Amino acid sequence: MAVTLDEHALAELTRRANAAKEPVARAAARLIRDGLLSIETEHPGGEPPAPAKNATTGLPGWLEPPGERERWRRELWSTVCALGERYPGVFSKLVADWWTDRALIEVLGALGAWRAQLDSGISIDPRAELLFHDRLELLERRLTKDSDPTAARFAGGPPPSGWLA
């Protein structure tokens, strides 16, 4: 079996292996095993609950349902504003017209849904919180790398009419 890790995860794995005075492969196997066992403990039967779906479309809640565009977009806008207030360091890099990038819309929607699940206590595993913050860091890197430094930044406020239309 092979596991591919980004440089930060590999560095953390190496640090943990060194701290435990064990080979990296053994540390990786232990962490994977522990992670799988924690899923079994939290969710007997082995499967964590499926993501919340839109009752009428069956889509995950972070994807725009075809017939509820305006409501869903208002909710996502509100979610992004809340994330921006909670994590200003990351969201200060978000461009003002983020809503024109479909991939970014889905990432922000998924992060918002994940944050809501964490806040509601669905997961009692602190690793879920740590993974969320890892994803925030990846988003921050993407926003820093991909955006024009002179572009206007997202400042919250009401959604633009072009987004709701």
Do 60 and 136 reside in the same domain of the chain?
A: yes
* Whether residue 116 sits in one domain with residue 77: yes
Quick one: pLDDT at residue 51? 47
Residues 158 and 94 in one domain: yes
On whether both 8 and 61 belong to a single domain, the answer is no
Helix count and strand count (H, E) for the chain: 7, 0
Give the residue carrying structure tokens 């969201």: 91
* 87 lies in the same domain as 160: yes
Local confidence pLDDT in tens for the 165 residues of the chain: 777 766 767 778 888 888 777 888 888 877 876 766 555 445 555 544 544 555 555 778 888 888 888 999 999 999 999 999 999 999 999 999 999 999 999 999 999 999 999 999 988 889 999 999 999 999 999 999 988 889 999 999 999 888 887
Same domain (yes/no): 32, 57:
no
Please tell me the distance from the alpha carbon of residue 93 to that of residue 143, in angstroms, as a whole number. Answer: 6
pTM of the predicted model, to two decimals? 0.66
In this structure, are 62 and 120 located in the same domain?
yes
Q: What's at 17, amino acid-wise?
A: A
CA distances from 133 to 16, 136, 139 (A): 19, 5, 10
Here the tokens at position 97 are 């017209």
The predicted pLDDT at position 53 comes to 52
* Cα within 13 Å of Cα(129), Cβ side: 9
108 lies in the same domain as 36: no
Could you tell me which residues come within 8 angstroms of residue 67 by beta carbon, excluding any fewer than 6 positions away?
56, 57
